[in-house]
Amino acid sequence: MAKLTAGMGTSHVPGLGAAIDNGKTHEAYWKSLFEGLEPLRNWHKANTPDVNIIVYNDHATEFSLDSYSTFTVGVGESFRPADEGWGPRQVPEMQGHPEFAWHLIESVMADEFDLAVNASMDLDHGFTVPLSVAYGQPSEWPTAVVPVCVNVIQHPLPTALRCYKLGQAIGTAIESYPDDITVGIWGTGGLSHQLGGERVGVVNPEFDQLFLDNLTKDPLANTRLSHTDFMREAGCEGVEMIMWNVMRGALGDNVEEIFRLYHIPVSATAFGAIILENK
């Protein structure tokens, strides 16, 4: 049977991908962040699963605001990095896992989640930057991926609790997959940031750290936050954090926090990353 081994949460700041792609990680602005990511990368080297379910958001790159599904699962054989206006990132294509993705969809739909299915979506920085955070610049990515896109940009959005419950349904789906594969799950986006409007540049370390603490010790606390709570406390784009609840919902009640990094600023955001092993 398949086994869910661990979850990761990470921000997806596009500038971080650009720093990697353009060889700037040793420059003063980036150096301490990338040094801080070393233990995370070493953990990934030692703990690469067969497939990673990557819960991410598209930034109106692939999906138009005219038609944005709440939850979309990618069933493609492979996925290309998206062109976000200045050409696609020069990173390897992502290999999908259609058989596992379809199993996941069937199981989660039987659990009353009505998912959209997409066989050919290109993946923007919300997806490729977390891969670069974990794996650096390999000639091919070391795991297959199943993209799960969450609408965090076109209201109405799914609630923080709904995201957690989706994660629980994904956890059930993993447990019932007959092949002996190892599976990881990532929640991406955040942490606190706001990219426009009067409060542009807002970051809130106290809120972010409490969210990270709760992720480990009291995950239901993070399901009681409303979208307004996220936007007030963590800025408009801080609401991306609801995707971390999908990751946490898939893990069991007991997790061990293996790694945490919190770094301000990265671009206009607070960068956060966490690894939780399933016990």
The pairing of beta strand 71-74 with beta strand 116-118: parallel
| H/E segment holding residue 66 | none
Q: Is 13 in the site for ligand DHB (CB under 6 A)?
A: yes
Active site residue 59: no
List 103, 125, 227, 263, catalytic entry: 125
Minimum CB distance to ligand DHB, residue 131 (Å): 15
Minimum CB distance to ligand DHB, residue 119 (Å): 24
Q: Is 89 in the site for ligand DHB (CB under 6 A)?
A: no
Give which of 246, 255, 253 is closest to 223, Cα–Cα: 246
Active site residue 26: no
Closest residue by beta carbon to ligand DHB? 267
Closer residue to ligand DHB (CB): 105 or 234: 234
Minimum CB distance to ligand DHB, residue 246 (Å): 17
Q: Is 16 in the site for ligand DHB (CB under 6 A)?
A: no
Give which of 167, 131, 129 is closest to 148, Cα–Cα: 167
Contacts 24+ apart (CB under 8 A), 97-103: 97/50, 97/51, 97/144, 97/145, 97/146, 100/2, 100/51, 100/144, 100/146, 100/177, 100/179, 100/181, 100/183, 101/73, 101/74, 101/75, 101/146, 102/75, 103/173, 103/176, 103/177
Minimum CB distance to ligand DHB, residue 124 (Å): 8
Stretch that binds ligand DHB, among 86-94, 152-160, 244-252, 263-271 (CB under 6 A): 263-271
Closer residue to ligand DHB (CB): 12 or 103: 12
Give the residues lining the site for ligand DHB (CB under 6 A).
12-15, 59, 193, 195, 237, 267-269
